[in-house]
Chains A and B, each alone.
Chain A
């Protein structure tokens, strides 16, 4: 057997949306992560719940990048493409490298399948220009049927195991230990041991098929692990990590976690995840609308909870009035916006960074609000924790931006030790202030005190009308309104955030790459690639967008050329131009609903360097 050592490999599983590609992909990621490989995943599923079987619109994909050293993205193009049917091959081949190995189930390439996938002839490989030598063509459905012939399972259930054959075959291709996959299946189907057993049998059959036939195939790859960070890990998606971050913050602060939410793609998994954890006292209310999702959270914040509302762009439009109520009442609240393609309903399952200016400015009046953006699936945990800490300690609503890409993608998450996380200390009004306290009395840092209902002597009324700085009563006094506007602005502006870190050739770069949020991995990979080509390049990435890090202007003005690369039409670039005098960066903007492609970034950045 010919084993090739590789530094990193990208595998893409694709099939009908009912073919279980997400599960196969997840198990393969876990198996790889278990041996210490770095992983980055990207599920790419259709917006339709169940498009017609075998149709081009019903194809679901799952891409995973595994590496011996750190990988930053799920990869541009794949080295191995699994296509469970003709439609998958037709739509997914464009994500394959020119020398990629293609695994297909020949049983799903019959005349009807080809017709549904809009092939013109029976020579589908020829039509796509695929070299047959690169194809592992196996009658996968037939083999699964034979494998489970004695199981007593019906045809439908047997067909559901096809994904496991593909998984077994891929595990063979990468010389993976199957034990981890078996354990995963035993755990997942703990309540249905017969199903677990059938799946395990099929995984083994797929592995054996590869091993026995050596499938005309090409190579078996081996990804060794270098630069391991010892520790205990789990695979986590961005949305789950976000939910975990809120749970951790509530526990650290000693508060009840309250989520008011309304289902919306791609944020709903946060509602799902938090709804599960009632044993931790988490309270979730699935509200009648987005407005109520936010409004109920404002009520919960007043009542003394860590209040969160989760949504995506269209939902944040509806929440904005209640968000502003939290601004003027100075109550802690976290608004999670898992960005998707817009405007309006836009591209619900696809990813963009187009809500940045909405987050900063999308409300009436002077409405300062801290904005954070998570940079990766696992960073969602840290970002959710920090957003909660800022909200609670500074008595302000905070917007946490993630996006469909980081929310649905996953990474290996080193289990955090909550004891090592910074304390969260809300500014509860001290008992000794009883008698002189008024609702807008502030601490030295400009934060007002929090008097949670139930405390005698601190009864007070908050509201959406402007209040007198001293008495807390309704006030339309012009001087007072000006003062309160400035106090709210200063409070947010003075929130301490870490300085920008510059990576790469930070002293002598000719080009600085700037981004924010979920594009971190792609920009980092592009920078590494360019430095490997001998270019002098640095990058810096914004997690804190409001307030901006103190050294923002210094960093932006240090390098001869700066490019702001973002998945919108230039929203961060515009914000930076507004905040940094005379700053005029190059821009790289793309709004395709898909992650950046590193190769395209490198091309564009090289063009800027060479200009």
Chain B
């Protein structure tokens, strides 16, 4: 098998604003693809419309930069028609969750084998600064000068509500964290949602400030790893435990709490209750924001099932050509 470097997946000169989170993500995607090692000709990168949806133009793979909101639907057809392709679907928060929300949930529900990237900067950048479906309530923007009066989507909640089997999160500036979840998304068979927290330097600068650099993440984020205790803090001094219906932060070594008491992350657990609790942390609730693979559960994929059904019916039915199909009808002969 051929081996590839990040260079083999690179094309062109990105035209995003200097400092845009998209630059960081793109570099991680190139790196992840090289580590995954699928040949460029067997990859399709499909985006919608928006700043981040320019991304396919900087890939040396096959790809499409399509129309607003439809990336998941177009990627669905691409994967179902040609399952040999590795399909990456790239959308921003507006593309993926507003105009394309319906396709986002149905791609998850059907469990199409797509690697679905959601670049979340909580703003419409390309149209120059309107609030998005992930902007917090009260958010002031050009289209909400007095603050929004609506609650945002929390992407994980939407994914889980649509019966999603894979959800991971990374910060765009955190290359190792991003590469790790992209590889996990590739390895997961089925719809894999990766939420990438990224900054819009022009219209929503600082939206992810608390976690955008390493120091911030050490304080405000928790890296979750399947099979590992859920600990965080600059010296891993804190941990999560279950209390009643919720989670609680404890300090290890205090009040008799030991590492043994800390909840161990189970990304493979079918029941998504605790995974959802992890995914929703950090919304001003005093909890750290969870990064890494939060849910990764095996389930039959739509595209595999479609192919299996075709094979099954082929074995069952006696007609396999158009001429044979005609013969299955009531036929009469005029002499």
Contact = CB atoms under 8 A, between A and B. Distances in A.
Q: Do the two shown chains form a genuine complex with each other?
A: yes
Interface of A: 30, 33-34, 36, 180, 183-184, 187, 225, 228-236, 244, 247-248, 251, 256, 258, 260, 277-281, 283, 285, 287-289, 291-292, 295-305, 307, 321-322, 324-325, 329, 415-418, 453-465, 473-474
A231 B334 contact: yes
Given A418-B322, A459-B62, A283 B330 contact: no
A235 to B, nearest CB: 7
A184 B331 CA distance: 10
Contacts of B45: 461
Interface in B191-206: none
A454 B41 CA distance: 5
B307 to A, nearest CB: 9
22 contacts: A34-B332, A232-B334, A233-B331, A244-B322, A251-B322, A260-B77, A277-B325, A280-B322, A281-B310, A285-B77, A295-B74, A302-B62, A303-B81, A303-B85, A321-B70, A453-B43, A453-B85, A454-B85, A456-B41, A459-B60, A461-B64, A473-B12
Interface in B61-76: 61-67, 70, 73-76
B77 A297 contact: yes
A461 B85 contact: no
A330 to B, nearest CB: 12
List 10 A-B pairs, minimum CB-CB distance, nearest first: A299-B77, A296-B77, A463-B65, A300-B81, A303-B82, A299-B78, A295-B73, A279-B317, A278-B313, A299-B74
A301 B102 CA distance: 22
B255 interface: no
B44 interface: yes
B42 interface: yes
B77 A303 contact: yes
A163 B334 CA distance: 28
B1 interface: no
A563 B84 CA distance: 54
Given A307-B81, A461-B65, A465-B65, A289 B102 contact: yes
A322 B70 contact: yes
A331 to B, nearest CB: 9
Contacts of B106: 287-288, 292
Contact of A232 (B43, B81, B333): B333
B100 to A, nearest CB: 10
B7 interface: no
A291 B73 contact: yes
Q: Which of B70, B73, B76, B81 has the most CB of A within 10 A?
A: B81
A418 B323 CA distance: 7
Interface of B: 12, 39-46, 49, 56-57, 59-67, 70, 73-82, 84-85, 102-103, 106, 306, 309-310, 313-314, 316-317, 319-323, 325-326, 329-335
A300 B46 CA distance: 12
Contacts of B314: 278-279, 281
A288 B102 contact: yes
A232 B330 CA distance: 10
Contacts of A321: 67, 70
Contacts of B44: 302-303, 453
A228 B84 CA distance: 50
Contacts of A251: 321-322
Given A228-B334, A230-B335, 10 more contacts: A30-B332, A180-B332, A184-B330, A233-B333, A278-B317, A283-B81, A298-B74, A300-B77, A418-B323, A454-B84
A228 to B, nearest CB: 5
Contact of A464 (B49, B319, B332): B49
B321 A458 contact: no
Contacts of B331: 232-234, 415
A251 B320 CA distance: 10
Nearest to A30: B330
A36 B335 CA distance: 8
B190 to A, nearest CB: 16
Contacts of B334: 36, 225, 228-233
A305 B103 CA distance: 21
B42 A295 contact: no
B81 A234 contact: no
A30 B330 CA distance: 9
Nearest to B106: A288
Nearest to B57: A461
B141 to A, nearest CB: 25
B66 A464 contact: yes
Contacts of B329: 234-236
Contacts of B65: 461-465
Contacts of A416: 326
A276 B80 CA distance: 17
Best-surrounded residue of B73, B313, B321, B329 (most CB of chain A within 10 A): B73
Nearest to A258: B81
A456 B85 CA distance: 13
Contact of B333 (A231, A300, A329): A231
A302 B75 CA distance: 10
Contacts of B79: 299, 303
B332 A232 contact: yes
A453 B82 contact: yes
B316 A279 contact: yes
B259 to A, nearest CB: 46
Contacts of A180: 332
Contacts of B41: 453-459
A307 B73 CA distance: 14
Which one of A258, A299, A455 has the highest number of Cβ atoms from chain B below 10 Å of its Cβ? Answer: A299
B80 A280 contact: no
B73 A460 contact: no
Contact of A233 (B42, B43, B82, B332): B332
A116 to B, nearest CB: 36
A297 B41 CA distance: 21
B122 to A, nearest CB: 25
A295 B313 CA distance: 27
Contact of A415 (B39, B310, B326): B326
A321 B306 CA distance: 27
A78 to B, nearest CB: 24
A258 B306 CA distance: 12
B319 A279 contact: yes
Contact of A295 (B39, B77, B85): B77
Contact of A302 (B64, B313, B330): B64
Contacts of A184: 330
A259 to B, nearest CB: 10
Given A463-B64, A464-B66, A278 B310 contact: yes
A479 to B, nearest CB: 21
A278 B313 CA distance: 6
Nearest to A249: B322
B73 A287 contact: yes
A296 B74 contact: yes
Contacts of A302: 44, 62, 64, 74, 78
B41 to A, nearest CB: 4
Nearest to A455: B41
Contacts of A233: 331-334
A299 B75 CA distance: 6
B73 A296 contact: yes
B49 to A, nearest CB: 7
A33 B79 CA distance: 44
B76 A296 contact: yes
A541 B314 CA distance: 41
B313 A279 contact: yes
A280 B321 contact: yes
Contacts of B317: 278-279
A143 B105 CA distance: 56
A30 B43 CA distance: 51
Nearest to B83: A303
Nearest to A240: B329
A458 B40 CA distance: 10
Given A232-B332, A304-B81, A283 B306 contact: yes
A247 to B, nearest CB: 6
Contacts of B82: 300, 303-305, 453-454
